[in-house]
Structure 1
Amino acid sequence: MPVTQGDTRRSILDTAQRIMSHKGFAAVGINEVLSEAGVPKGSFYHYFSSKDAFGEAMMRSYFADYLADMDSVLGEPGATSAERLQKYWDGWRETQSLDDCQGKCLAVKLGAEVSDLSESMRLALKEGTTAIVDRLERTIEAGLADGSLSIDGDARTTAQVLYEMWLGASVMAKIHRDIGALDTATKVTRQLLHV
């Protein structure tokens, strides 16, 4: 089956996510991504109008995949909302730990860096992280309805606090090269959700 332009574009974006999750955005040149993806160096501008547009497309692609995975976990049939949330946090702990994130920690890795470099990438990050918090909020509300969890405040604030805490814990795990911060986030999450 012939390779389509969409396949090539996706290959470039997937390769960039993998490399940049380890090195960051500014440290990675377009030529490195194209070489790793097996795409001719002269064809970059056929797929993206600029490095900025490429970065925005990469962030949007990352969040589309992340949110689809999140929807799968949070929509698992036969589980309570509290169990679904716990599975999501367990998955976070597993995939965001230290250097073994394999493209799964782009928001953690690039959040601060690209927010100062590119307004379009910052907006893609904002939209993506807002969509994550939206899903957490809905699942917390469902947990209140099914009785599998309880909270002391409102669902939106709780969802934001939890997401921000896990982002911070991921950064601290990288700084200290120790997953203790993620263990603490797990413990505090259970306390906040009364599970």
Structure 2
Amino acid sequence: MAAQTDTRQHILDSSREVILGKGFTAVGLSELLSVAGVPKGSFYHYFRSKENFGEALLEDYFERYLERMDRILKPDGRSAAERIIRYWTLWTESQEAFEFGTRCLVVKLGAEVSDLSENMREILHDGTERVVTRLAQCLMEGIRDGSLPQTLKPVQAALALYDLWLGATLMTKLRHDTHAFKNALLATRQMLQIQ
């Protein structure tokens, strides 16, 4: 059973980079098989179709992303305001390291697959809702610990911030510069009233 899980995970892990580079529809099954180094039969043993593979890829992405997010935002002696700024700083660093591409499957695949697959759109929607929920929780902790303003509406602010940072990631990719991240961080600090 472990070998099966390992093979399935290997297909997902090895394919992620090519999907991040080219997108979902531009990558054919033969390229996925080549990158993963598995025969067609192995692919279809784990995934009913390329769409089913895409669903699994997104589910795996969000599972890993949310685990990292939980580690960054968990209470650790720092204020919630410090933790939320650290989250956005790490977001910026992870995107900049990819040389104006994107490490974010939401940005890379959001518009592309939402019109092609209702199942993939739902996974993207549910995953982003879980991201926003975690951001809102951290903002609520900031209100409680006094590091964020009492007037802040955590859910609205979390959604606005996530939208802002997704847009900044897209604009960084389009412009091939990091000004959008600098502006997003400034807007984040202003919205949250953090010096």
Per the TM superposition, whether the score is higher than 0.5 is yes
1:29 paired residue number: 28
1:82-126 superposed Cα distances (whole Å, 9 cap, x missing partner):
111011101110112374488731111111101111100000000
| 1:70 matched to 2:69 | yes
> What are the ranges of 5 or more consecutive residues in structure 2 without an aligned counterpart?
none
1:42 positional shift: 2.8
1:49 paired residue number: 48
Residue-pair matches, total? 194
- The alignment's C-alpha RMSD in Å is 1.8
1:153 positional shift: 4.3
Tell me the distance in 2 between the aligned counterparts of 1:101 and 1:50: 31
1:112 paired residue number: 111
| 1:173 matched to 2:172 | yes
| 1:158 matched to 2:161 | no
40-49 or 63-72, which moves further after superposition? 40-49
TM-score, normalized by length of structure 1? 0.93
- The amino acid across from 2:124 in the alignment is L
1:182 positional shift: 0.7
SS in 2 for 1:117: coil
1:176 positional shift: 0.5
2:187 paired residue number: 188
Structure 2 contact 102–169 (Cα < 8 Å) conserved: no
37-46 or 105-114, which moves further after superposition? 37-46
> What are the ranges of 5 or more consecutive residues in structure 1 without an aligned counterpart?
none
- The amino acid across from 1:126 in the alignment is H
1:58-91 superposed Cα distances (whole Å, 9 cap, x missing partner):
0000000000000000015121101110111011
- The amino acid across from 1:22 in the alignment is G
Structure 1 contact 93–182 (Cα < 8 Å) conserved: yes
26-35 or 150-159, which moves further after superposition? 150-159
1:112-171 superposed Cα distances (whole Å, 9 cap, x missing partner):
101111100000000100000000000000000001112654110000000000000100
Tell me the distance in 2 between the aligned counterparts of 1:5 and 1:181: 42
